[in-house]
Amino acid sequence: MNFYCYYKSTMMNHVPIPTLICIVCALLFAFLTPLLLFLYFKKKADVLPFFVGCLVMFVFAFVIESSLHSFILNSNIGQSILNHALLYALYGGFMAALFEEVGRLIAFKTWLKKYLPNNYNALMYGAGHGGLEVLVVLGITSINNLIYLLLGDQLLATVPTEFHAQINDILLTLRTTPAWMFLLGMVERVFAILLQISLSIFVWLSVKHKKPALFILAFGVHFLVDMITAYLAQIGFNSIALEGVIGTMSILVAFFAYKQFHKYTKEEGVKQ
C-alpha cells in the first residue's frame, strides 16, 4: 500500500513528454481536419453545405439527441438500458441513426434543395457534419486532457476536497496510459469522417433522385456501425482490434458510396 501511494504520488507530479506530444497532435488534428476538408472540397462544391452540415450535427446530435439521452438514461428505463451491453448498443445505434439521418434528410429537402444539382455538395456537407464531430469529440477531449495533464496540481488546490480522488484518478490514468493510445482517437475520427461523408452521399442521392432505398441504406448502415462499435466497446474489446473493425466497416461503406456517387454523377452528365 505504501509503495502504491508513493508510485501514485510520483506519477501525479510527472508530465510524460510523449503523452503531451500525442495529445497536442490529436488536438491539432481535430482543428485542422475540418479546415483542410473544407478547402479541398471547395474546389468543386459550394460553401454553404459545409456550414449546414455543421449546423445539423450541432442541433440534431449535440442538442436534441443529447437532451433526449439525458432524459431517457436518467429514468428507470434508462438504468436498465445502461446495465445491458447489447440493449445499450441497440439504443445508441438507433438514436444516432435516427437524429443524424433525419437531420440530413431535412437539410437536403429544405435549405440545400437548390444545391442538389452539384453532387460534390454532398461531400462538402459530409465534411461539415463529420468535421464538427471531430472538432467536438476529439478536440474537447484533447483540451480537457491537456488541462488535467498540465494543471493537475493547480486543480487540486482550487477544487473542494471531495473531488480530489476523482481528479487524482484522471491524472493517474493520463500519466500512465501509453502515449500512442492518444493517437487512436485520430484514427477513429478518420474512419468516422469517411463514414459521415459516405452517409451524406446516400441521403443526397436519395433526395435528389427520389430513391427511398438509399435513405434506408444510410439509416441501416449508421445504425449497424454504431451498434457494433458500442457493443464491442461495452464488452471490453481490444481497442486496436476495435479500430480495425470500425475501419473495415467504414472503408467498405465508403467504397460503395464512391461507386454510387460516380454512377449517378456520370448518368447526370456531370463532368468528372
pLDDT in tens, 200-229: 999 999 999 999 999 999 999 999 999 999
d(CA 180, CA 74): 34
DSSP-derived secondary structure for 210-270: T-HHHHHHHHHHHHHHHHHHHHHHHTT--HHHHHHHHHHHHHHHHHHHHHHHHHHHHHTT-
- pLDDT over threshold 80, residue 233: yes
| DSSP one-letter code for 57 | I
Looking at residue 11, what is its pLDDT?
44
* Of the candidates 9, 16, 18, the residue with the CA atom closest to the CA atom of residue 180: 18
C-beta separation of 218 from 201 below 8 A: no
pLDDT in tens, 78-94: 999 999 999 999 999 99
Q: Which three cell numbers stand for residue 217?
A: 441504406
List all residues 6 or more positions away from 59 whose beta carbon is below 8 Å from its beta carbon.
Answer: 103
d(CA 134, CA 131): 5
Residue 156: which H helix or E strand, with range? helix 140-158
- pLDDT over threshold 80, residue 7: no
C-beta separation of 99 from 69 below 8 A: no
- pLDDT over threshold 90, residue 110: yes
